[in-house]
Amino acid sequence: MEKYLYIALFAPLASSLFVALFAARPKMLFTGIVASLLIGVSMIASFILLIDVNNYGPLHVTMMDWISAGNLSIPFGFVVDEVSVIMMVTVTLVSTIVHIYSIGYMDHDKSFNRFFSYLSAFVFSMMILVMSDNFVGLFIGWEGVGLCSWLLIGFWYHKHSASWAANEAFIMNRIADLGMLMGLFLIYWQLGSFQYDVVFANVKHLDPAIITTIGIFLFIGAMGKSAQFPLHTWLADAMEGPTPVSALIHAATMVTAGVYLVIRCGELYTLIPHVGFAIASLGAFVALFAASMALVNNDLKRIIAYSTLSQLGYMFVAAGLGAYWIALFHLMTHAFFKSLLFLGAGNVMHAMHDELNIKKMGGLYGSMKATAILMSIASVALAGIYPFAGFFSKDKILEVAFNEGAYFLWFALFIGAGLTAFYSFRLVMLVFFGEKEYKKQGLHPHEAQNFVIYALVPLGLLAIVAGFFEHAFHGFVTKLLRNYEIHIDHGVEAILIAATLGIAISGIAFAIYMYKRGGFPKSLEERACYKILSNQYFIPYAYERFIMKPFTALSHFFWVSIDTKIIDATVDLIARVFYKSGEKARKMQSGNLSDMLRWMVMGIVVLLIFAILYRPTV
């Protein structure tokens, strides 16, 4: 079975390296095809492993030693257990589709080959992240996906905004990574190893305070990758990247790495429920916070990005409250319908010649039915309507919140569900129905190539049916993960489900109703609350104003004032003092003979005076 593991892991690397050979060349179709094939191979291998793990249990291999110094020794080790295999399957599945999709999407891009090289490299890093059997290995993937997202967000580097967003994403993640590193160091110095099995076996013996610290540090890392408040701003800006990238990295896989980390460290977090609850609360907050921003935004991709944020919030609620398998489940379903949503948006963008403002679209249903249907499916799934995938996972999360007696969280999520339904259908309505605004720009939108549509169909199907695997999934992952049972009597449960469905549907209905009638009045946009939302609570502005500007100013001050004017000047001053004193001493050499003689006599006289005045005992 190991060979499948290595195939699954290294096929993407091979693809990336192979394609990289042609990176500098103009577009070559076969690069895209080869890449897609290799990723497909990796996917098949992952599925085989899935079955294998299901039958024979986890698989653990150690490839070779990496770092060893003092008591520290870190191998390249990989583990394929219930959790990682689910992640692998999800990742490779979405990746394959995205690769195929990109062949169509990047059709006219001159850096076609480079794109696929990066994309495959990302898949490789992601595989390392999920498959590694120790924290540092995870950190490798962690940084690797960061690098790839930097490369891919800034793929169109000639755009200032793109390269800026890329740097922002990288740096924000670095901030979080520092937290994560601290967590790793603490783990090492406490337990002397980075191996999951060793760590989780012994962590329970540690002093709770230390476990708490570890938990917090690790979660800081997770916050960066999963763009949780306050490190969330990069995700929206990351939409500068090509849409397949947004679909793969910023919706389906990378951003969920944080959730994966928390799930992976389940044994650790179960020991510190208070931290877990904090995580859940933050998640709930983000769920609302992001949804609210999605309400008013007019940028096609940003809306979806915010909804991703909000869904990540949901996952963290589940993970925080200890319902790891539910979090993982939502992670998976979300990957399907969210990537679908993004890829559909990609089609729309192409049709609209990269126009992103949904206010300028409308009535596209006529010209691109398939996309419209797929996106609607995705939106329904997102809104969590029975029997679509979103319903099962999301509803479970609300139940968990209720079950934990965290009614406040439950309420937040409940509201969030409503908002989600509203904004996703606001988007659908504005894009596909209503007035044909695009006519004004004289565009003639057209449907994407067929194979692109076909590539999307599997996702569409999964978005519909994935929910029904719930029990199989539950049974499978809880072999590893702590099981979580919900004990709510059926009456209450039914009411809850009804309520959730109700608010979701009413959200949808409201959206349809309003936008059929030409949307909200303009006057609304003058309102303060609207302004706050449309400016993302002025947080990016605040960062710019209170962090970046002062930092730049301070750096400049250090350089000009401290380094040059003080430190360096002091050094030169010392030298100059000697030189100047030389100039002074030089006057002694007047060259006049009388002066010379006087100096000699003076010397004698002074010494004599000394002899008289100062005479230490013999």
Partner 1 sequence: MITLTHYLVLAGLLFAIGLVGVMKRTNLLMLFFSTEILLNAVNIGFVAVSKYYGDLSGQLFAFFIIAVAASEVAVGLGLLILWYKRNGTVDLNSLQIMKG
Partner 2 sequence: MEHILSLLVFFPAMAALLGFMVNKESIRAYAIGVSAIEFFLSIILWIGFDASNAGYQFVEYFALIPSYGMSYYLGVDGISLFLVILTTFTTMIALIALNIEKDIKNLILSVLFLEMAMVGVFVILDIIWFYAFWELSLVPMLYIIGAWGSTRRVYAAIKFFLYTFAGSILMLVGILYMAHLYYQATGVWSFALPDWYMMQIPFTTQLWLFGAFFLAFAVKVPMFPFHTWLPYAHGQAPTIGSIILAAVLLKMGSYGFVRFSLPLFPDASVYFLMPVAIVAIIMVIYAAMVAYAQEDMKQVIAYSSISHMGIVVLGTFAMNAEGITGSIFLMLSHGIVSGALFMLVGMIYDRRHTKLMKDFGGLASVMPGFATIYGIMLMASVGLPLTIGFVGEFLSLAGFYRISWVMTMLAGTGIILGAVYMLVLYKRSFFGAVVHEENKTLKDLNAKELTALIPLVALVVILGIYPKPVLSTIDMSVQKMLVLMEQKAVEQSTKDLIINANTVGGTK
Partner 3 sequence: MLEPISINIASLNLPALLPMAILVIGALALLVADLVVKGLNRSFFTMITVLFIILDLGAVIGYNGPVRGFFDVLLVDGIAIIAQVIILVASAFFVPLSLSHRHFREFEMAEFYALFMFMIVGFQCMVVSDNLILIFIGLETASLSLYTLIAMHNRMKAFEAAIKYFTMGALAAGFYTLSALIFYAMTGSVEIYEIERVLVERQFEPLLGVLAATVFMLGALGFKLSLVPSHTWTPDVYEGSSAPLAGYMSVVPKIAGFVVAMRLFEMLVLSGVTWVEDILYALVVLTMTLANITALVQEDVKRMLAFSSISHAGSMMAAIMIGTTQANTALFLYWTLFMFTNLGAFTMLWIVRHRKNLWDERYQHPFSKFSGMIKIMPMTATIMGVFMFALAGMPPFSVFWGKLYLLSAAINSEYIFLALIIVLNSAIAVYYYMKLVVYMFLKEPTTDDATLFTTNASTPLKVIIGFAAMVTIFSILFVEPLLNVITKYVSSSGF
Residues in the site for partner 2, rule: CB under 8 A?
23-24, 64-72, 136, 139-140, 143-144, 147, 150, 154, 157-158, 160, 163-164, 167, 170-171, 174-175, 177-178, 181-182, 184-186, 188-192, 209-210, 213, 551-552, 554-556, 558-560, 562-563, 567-568, 571, 575
Helices (H), 192-299: 196-202, 208-225, 233-237, 243-247, 257-264, 266-270, 273-296
Asked if 597 touches partner 1 (CB under 8 A), the answer is yes
Asked if 594 touches partner 1 (CB under 8 A), the answer is yes
Smallest separation (angstroms) from partner 2 to the CB of 186: 7
Q: How far is CA 296 from CA 150, 290, 300, 357, in A?
A: 28, 11, 11, 12
Helices (H), 525-592: 528-534, 539-543, 549-557, 569-586
Smallest separation (angstroms) from partner 1 to the CB of 587: 9
- Please choose, out of 25-33, 364-372, 489-497, 604-612, the segment that lies near partner 3 by the rule CB under 8 A: 604-612
Our CA dihedral for 321, 325, 328, 329, rounded to 10 degrees, sits at -120
Classify burial at 524, counting beta carbons within 10 Å of its beta carbon; exposed 0-12, middle 13-18, buried 19 or more.
exposed
Nearer to partner 1, 494 or 597 (CB): 597
Smallest separation (angstroms) from partner 3 to the CB of 598: 9
612 contact choice in partner 1, partner 3, partner 2, none (CB below 5 to 8 Å, kind-dependent): partner 3
Smallest separation (angstroms) from partner 2 to the CB of 156: 10
- Please choose, out of 394-402, 459-467, 496-504, 590-598, the segment that lies near partner 1 by the rule CB under 8 A: 590-598
Nearer to partner 2, 84 or 190 (CB): 190
Q: Are 232 and 309 in contact (CB under 8 A)?
A: yes
Nearer to partner 1, 566 or 593 (CB): 593
Q: How far is CA 504 from CA 270, 327, 333, 383, 424, in A?
A: 32, 20, 18, 6, 11
Asked if 521 touches partner 3 (CB under 8 A), the answer is no
Is it true that the peptide bond before 230 is cis, omega within 30 degrees of 0? yes
539 contact choice in partner 3, partner 2, partner 1, none (CB below 5 to 8 Å, kind-dependent): none
Nearer to partner 2, 499 or 554 (CB): 554
Q: What type of residue sits at position 348?
A: V
75 beta partners: 65
Task: Pull the structure tokens for residue 67.
Answer: 């770092």
Asked if 580 touches partner 1 (CB under 8 A), the answer is no
Q: What is the DSSP letter of 77?
A: E
Q: What contacts 545, CB < 8 A, 6 or more positions away?
A: none
Smallest separation (angstroms) from partner 3 to the CB of 76: 48
Q: How far is CA 372 from the centre of its chain?
A: 28
Number of residues that bind partner 1 (CB under 8 A): 10
Smallest separation (angstroms) from partner 1 to the CB of 589: 5
Q: Look at residues 311, 313, 305, 366 and name the one whose alpha carbon lies nearest to residue 333.
A: 311
Q: Are 370 and 504 in contact (CB under 8 A)?
A: no
Helices (H), 21-77: 29-56
Site track 551-590 with partner 3 (rule: CB under 8 A), x = hit: ---------------------------xx-xxx-xx-xx-
Nearer to partner 1, 72 or 600 (CB): 600
Number of residues that bind partner 3 (CB under 8 A): 30
Asked if 586 touches partner 1 (CB under 8 A), the answer is yes
Helix (H, G, I), strand (E, B) or coil at 289: helix
Nearer to partner 1, 529 or 602 (CB): 602
Q: Are 176 and 258 in contact (CB under 8 A)?
A: no
Site residues (vs partner 1, CB under 8 A): 586, 589-594, 597-598, 601
Site residues (vs partner 3, CB under 8 A): 578-579, 581-583, 585-586, 588-589, 591, 593, 595-597, 599-604, 607-608, 610-612, 614-618
